[in-house]
Copies of this chain bind each other. A is one copy, B any other.
Amino acid sequence: MTSRVLGADATVAAFPLGGIGTGNVSVGARGDLRDWELANRPDKGARLPFSFFAIRTARAGAAPTTKVLESRLPGPHEGDQGYDAGRLAGLPRLDDSRMRGEYPILNIDFRDAELGVDVTLTAFTPFVPLDADASGIPGAVLRYRVANPGPDPVLVTIAGSLANPVGITGRDVFHFPTYAGQPVNDWIDEPGLRGIRFGTDLPADDFRFGSAALSTTDASVSAKPQWLAGFWQDGVQVFWDDLRTDGRLDPETEFSLDQPPFPAWFTRLRVGSVAITDELAPGVARDFEFVLTWHFPNRHRAWQGNINLDNTNAGQVVRNHYATLFEDAWAVARHLTGDLAGLESATRAFHGALFGSSLPAEVVDAATANLVVLRSTTCFRLDGGRFAAWEGSFDHSGSCEGTCTHVWNYAQAAAYLFPELERDARRTEFVEETRADGRMNFRANSVFGNAPWDFHPAVDGQLGAVVRLHREWRFSGDDALLKDCWPGVKRAVDYAFSEWDSDGDNVLDSRQHNTYDIEFYGANSLANSMFFAGLAAAAAMAAHLGEDDVAARYRAAAAAGATRMDELLFNGVYYEQRLDDVDERRYQYGTGCLSDQVFGQLLAHLAGLGHVLPADHVRSAVAAVFRHNFRDDLSGHHSVQRTYALNGESGLVLCSWPNGGRPRIPFVYSDEVWTGIEYQVATHLIIEGFLDEGLTIVRAVRDRHDGRRRNPWNEVECGNHYARSLASWGLVVALAGADYDAHSGTLTFRPRLDLDGDVRLPFTTGTGWGELRLAAGPVGAAAAASASVEVALLGGELDLRAVVVDHPRLGRWTSGPVRLLPNTNAQLRTD
C-alpha cells in the first residue's frame, strides 16, 4: 500500500478537522466542506448551505475564470429538490482533484484546464503528541497554495464563504437550517487578523450559544461580511456576480432587497465571505491562508444517551474544557494564528515521524487514521479537563455512553499519545465508579455528577482497567494516581474472586457480562486471560506500594489460575469455552475459536507484564485465530448480524467453529468483523512472531476503507469513529517494540521489523517522544560493525537512566543515562 490518493469518486471519504473534544468539520475528496459537527453532538451528513471556497483567476486580456474550488460532483445526483440551492451544484467546478490524507495533515491537489494556475489545499488542526490542549484547538488551517506556471501575471482571488452555524435547530423542507436566536455576523479588523465573527443573540448560557470565525492574517483582503438576506436567493446571486466581476468583494449596503417589515418566518440565515486577492507574477507561488475556528462552550451536564443512564442534571450547563481556555472563536483564531509556527512545526514533526518512518504503510495508515477518534465527537473534555467518551458516534447522537470500560479496553492510542486522558479515565473508574463491593460501573456517570448506572459489571472491562492502570502508571510514573486508585483496584480484583469464581479454583466461571453485550457462563479464556493479566498488574502495583502479601496472593492466584485454565480450556490448538451444554443458555461459543481468546495476554504484553499464560499455547492460539477466523473472501459467509465486511472483502470474524459445535444461537456478534479486534489480534500476531499474518489483517481492514466503500478516517462499529479502532496504535508499539518504564527510567526497543538501510521507528514516553534511528546493512548481513543506532527526541523531554535496543540482527545496543531535549539524540553503542 502506497500513500492513499483518492479521486473525486471517493464519495465517502471525509477527513475530519478539529481538536480533541471540539467537534469537527470534514473535508471531502473533492475539497468540499462536509459533516458540520461543531456543536457538541455528532451530525454526519450535516451541510451548511453556501459554505465553500471559490477561486477566480484573470490574466490581462483574457476572460476571467470563476469556479467553486472543488472538483466536480460525481453523483448520484439524487435529492428531493435535485441539489438544493444551498449546495450550489450549478456553478462550475474544477476538472479533478487528488486527495492525500495523511492524518493529521490533508493535501488536495486540484486540476483544471481553465484556471491557468496550480492549486493545492493543505488543511490541518494542530496535533502535538503528549499535549492534549495543543491538540484540542477548535479550529483548522485551510491553506490554498497557488502557483502561476504561465508566462503572464495572473490576478488570483480565493474567497471563503460560511453560513453562520450558531443556533441551528434543524433543517426545513428546503434543506436550509432553522435557527434558535438570530445569528449575527461581524467584521473584525485588528492588527494581523481580520475576518468575520459569526455570533448569535442567544444568551451565553444557552445550550446552542456559540461563535465561529472565518479569518486570515493576510492583508490583501476584501469581504462581504453579510450577504443580502431574502426570501429567495438574492444573496448568493449578488455574491457570485460580485466575485466574478473583479475578484474583490464589496460589503452590502442593504440588509435585504425584500421590503420590511419582515415576517416572523423570514430567513435567519446569515452568510459571509472573506476573499484574498493577489497578482501572481510568472513562476511565483503564494499561500492564500484561511483559519476556520469555532466555540460552542455549553454542554448538557448528562450523557443523554441511548443507554439511558441517569440524566438528572441534564438541564445544567457544563463547559467544554476548550471553552475555559478561549473566550470565543475569535480568541481561538488569535491563538491559532499567533502560535501557528510552533504548532505547525510540532504537527509536521509528528506527521514526519509516522509517514517518514520505516513502518509498513498499512500500519501507518491504520494507526494515524484512527487517531481521528480522539478528535471526533466520540470524545470530549469537560471543564477541569475531565476526559469522557462515548463508544462511538451515531450519525446524530452519541453511541453508548460512559467511557465504556470493555470497549476502551482495546484502545491504545491515547495511552501512548495523550496519556493524561487515559490517566483521568482510570481515576474515574477506580475512584468514582468502583463500588464498595468492588463492582465497577462499566459506564461512568460520575463525570456529570449523575447517579451511577445499575447493571451487571463487565468482567473484561473491569479487569482490563487494572491492566491499563498499570500501563498508565508505568508510562507516567504517576504514583499519586496509583495511590488514589489503589483501594478501588483491590476491591475490583477481589470482586472477581468472590463473584466470578464460583468454585475457588482461580478460574472465573460464573455469569460474566462482557464486550459482546451478553453474559458468558463457564470458564473462558477471554475473561480469564484478562483476570490473570489484571492479577499480574495488581501484583506489580501492590509490590510497588509495599503490600507484599497482596502481591504474593495475586501472583499465586494468577499462576494457579493459568495452569488450571490451560487444563480446562486448551484443546491442543486453541482455548475453548467450557460448557456442558452449549445450548443450555443462549449466546455462548463453546468449542468455537474466539478471536479475543487471549486478549488479556495482549494487554499484559503491552503493559510490560510478560506472559500470563503458557507462551507456546498463546502462540498456538493466536495462530489458530488467524487460520480459522481470517477470511480472504466473505462471499460465502452467513451472518444475520450487523455487517462491516462483505462480498469479496477480507476480514477477521469474531468467532468460528472449525471443529463443529456451533451453538443454535451463538453470541450476538459472533459472525461480525470488528476492526478493533482485528487490530488487537494483528498486534498480538506481530508480538508472537507472525508478522505477515498480522500485516495481512491490517491490510484487509484498510483495503475495506478505500474512500469509495468506506471512509478511511472512520472505522465503524456501534457508531462512527468507534473507540475500539484505537487499538491500531498497538501496531506501532509492537513493531518498534518500544517499552518505557518511568520508574526504572529505561526505554527499551525490541524491533519486530528487520529492514536494511536507514530505519526510523517512532516512540513515545510519558514525557517526550521521538524516533529510534538505525543505519543498518542489508538484511541477512549479521555484522553490526557498520551500523549505527540512535534515539532522537522530537518533542517534550526525556530523562533516562538507560536505553536498550535489542535488534533481531544487529544485536544489543545500549546507552547510559541521558537527558534529551527536542532535536537532540542519544547515540547507542553495541555491546
Q: Are B640 and A85 in contact (CB under 8 A)?
A: yes
Q: For the complex, give the distance between the alpha carbons of A84 and B172 in Å.
A: 27
Answer whether residue A260 sits at the interface, using C-beta atoms and an 8 A cutoff: no
Segment from A231-239, A411-419, A690-698 that makes contact with B: A231-239
**C-alpha spacing A44/B709, complex, angstroms:** 22
Is B234 within 8 A of A173, CB to CB?
Answer: no
User: For residue A636, which residues in chain B have a CB less than 8 angstroms away from its CB?
Assistant: 92
Establish whether residues A642 and B78, one from each chain, have CB atoms under 8 Å apart when the complex forms. Answer: no
**Is the pair B80, A647 in contact by a Cβ cutoff of 8 Å?**
no
Query: Is A711 a contact of B639 with CB atoms below 8 Å?
Result: no
Cβ-defined contact, B89 with A643, below 8 A: yes
> Do B644 and A11 touch across chains, with their CB atoms under 8 A apart?
no
- 8 inter-chain pairs at a CB distance below 8 angstroms, sorted by A residue, are A73-B646, A78-B710, A81-B717, A90-B638, A91-B640, A173-B306, A237-B665, A238-B665
A720 contacts across to B, CB distance below 8 A: 80
Q: Pick the most buried of A172, A232, A233, A642: most chain B CB atoms within 10 A of its CB.
A: A642
Contact B394 A92 (CB under 8 A): no
Is A5 part of the binding interface, using a Cβ–Cβ cutoff of 8 Å? no
Cβ-based interface call for A556 (8 A): no
A394 and B90 within 8 A (CB): no
Interface assignment of A345: CB less than 8 Å from any CB of chain B? no
Q: Are B642 and A85 in contact (CB under 8 A)?
A: yes
Specify which chain B residues have a CB less than 8 angstroms from the CB of A637 in the assembled complex.
90, 92
Contact of A233 among B233, B392, B635, B668 (CB under 8 A): B668
- A56 to chain B: closest CB distance in Å? 12
A298 at the interface (CB under 8 A from B): no
Could you tell me the distance in whole angstroms from the C-beta of A477 to the nearest C-beta in chain B?
Answer: 39
- Assess the A719–B81 pair: CB atoms within 8 A: yes
Residues from chain B with a CB closer than 8 A to the CB of A87 are 643
Task: For the complex, give the distance between the alpha carbons of A637 and B78 in Å.
Answer: 19
Query: Given A84-B642, A643-B82, A646-B90, do A257 and B710 touch, yes or no (CB 8 Å)?
Result: no
> Is A644 a contact of B92 with CB atoms below 8 Å?
no
Contact of A234 with B80 at beta-carbon distance under 8 Å, contacts A637-B90, A638-B92 already known = no
Verify if A455 is at the interface (C-beta below 8 Å from B). Answer: no
Q: Is the CB of B83 within 8 A of A642?
A: yes
Interface assignment of A399: CB less than 8 Å from any CB of chain B: yes
Contacts A637-B92, A639-B91, A710-B76 known; A665 to B81 CB distance under 8 Å? no
Distance of A73 Cα from B643 Cα, bound (Å): 11
A395 at the interface (CB under 8 A from B): yes
State whether A78 touches B12 (Cβ < 8 A): yes
Interface residue SS majority, chain A:
loop
Flag whether A823 is at the interface (Cβ < 8 A): no
Q: Mark A329-352, 1 if CB is under 8 A from B, else 0.
A: 000000000000000000000000
Contacts of A716 in B (CB 8 A): 78-82
The residue on B at minimum CB distance from A707 is: B76
Report the separation of the CA atoms of residues A641 and B236 in the bound assembly, to the nearest whole angstrom.
9
Q: Contacts A586-B234, A647-B73, A671-B90: A642 and B257 contacting too (C-beta < 8 A)?
A: no
Q: List, in ascending order, chain B residues with CB within 8 A of A711's CB.
A: 78
Is the C-beta of A587 less than 8 angstroms from some C-beta in chain B? yes
**Would you list which residues of chain A between 74 and 102 have a CB under 8 Å from chain B?**
75-85, 87-92
Q: Quick check: is A376 within 8 A (CB to CB) of the other chain?
A: no
A83: contacting residue among B172, B635, B643, B668, CB under 8 A: B643
What residues on B are CB-neighbors of A671 within 8 Å? 90
Docked pose: A488 CA to B664 CA in angstroms: 72
Partner of A90, one of B89, B90, B236, B639: B639
A359 and B93 CA atoms in complex are apart in Å by 38
- A28 CB to closest chain B CB (Å) equals 13
Q: Of residues 224 to 264 in A, which have CB atoms within 8 Å of B's CB atoms? A: 232-234, 236-238, 240-241, 244, 257
Q: A237-B665, A586-B234, A717-B82 are in contact. Are A640 and B90 (CB under 8 A)?
A: yes
Question: A717–B72 Cα gap in the complex (Å)?
Answer: 21
Interface 1/0 per residue, A372-416 and B, CB below 8 Å: 000000000000000000001111010100000000000000000
Expressed in whole angstroms, the Cα–Cα distance for A672 and B83 within the complex equals 11
With A77-B710, A78-B710 as known contacts, state yes or no: A91 contacts B240, CB within 8 Å. Answer: no
Query: A713 to chain B: closest CB distance in Å?
Result: 12
* Pairs A-B, 6 closest by C-beta atoms: A90-B639, A89-B643, A83-B643, A90-B643, A82-B644, A75-B709
A619 at the interface (CB under 8 A from B): no
In the bound complex, how far is the Cα of B45 from the Cα of A395, in angstroms?
Answer: 16
- From A637, A668, A672, residue with most partner B Cβ within 10 Å: A668
C-alpha gap A101/B498 in the complex (Å):
66
Interfacial chain B residues near A238, Cβ < 8 Å: 664-665
Q: How far is the CB of A419 from chain B (nearest CB, A)?
A: 29
Q: A207: shortest Cβ distance to chain B, in Å? A: 20
Q: With A72-B647, A643-B90 in contact, is A240–B82 under 8 Å at CB? A: no
Within the complex, the shortest CB–CB distance from A494 to chain B, in Å, comes to 31
A55 to B: closest C-beta gap in Å: 14
Q: Which of A79, A173, A640 has the most CB of B within 10 A?
A: A640
A720→B394 CA distance, assembly (Å):
28
User: Is A718 interfacial (CB 8 A cutoff)?
Assistant: yes
Inter-chain contacts of A59 with B (CB < 8 A) = none
